[in-house]
Copies of this chain bind each other. A is one copy, B any other.
């Protein structure tokens, strides 16, 4: 007989991650509202600030999101004139996402966000890195299993 404490909310390992993820998105809002973007949109821009031009598929691979989520999100970013969506001439199934000048400029306003976010968490740099490393370990473990 499995002991009951396995089914108590406080003993669930996954719930705090779920709750924390939502908390993080919430905390980001204070900063991102000023830029008029959401957290997932911010993630997209992070990738584009680093890579300038990406297909929907490439964005999806990096952000672990599918086109069902990305397509409307990217359309909204396009409407805000932060990105351009262009059908590739080489392969018309492919849509390339690139930064507009305004989108590129937003990077400057966003540069202090990661640091300020960290300041809101109340944990040490070590704890933060531990958290990240374990999270990434799980993600990588499951990435491999899915492809096997």
Contact = CB atoms under 8 A, between A and B. Distances in A.
A22 B64 contact: yes
Contacts of A6: 111, 114-115
Contact of A137 (B117, B127, B145): B127
Interface string A91-127: 0000000000000000100111011011011110001
Q: Chain A interface secondary structure, helix, strand, loop or mixed?
A: helix
A43 interface: yes
Interface residues of A, number: 58
Question: What number of copies of this chain does the assembly contain?
Answer: 2
Contact of A117 (B14, B39, B49, B127): B14
Contact of A135 (B7, B131, B136): B131
A19 interface: yes
A134 B145 CA distance: 26
A40 to B, nearest CB: 8
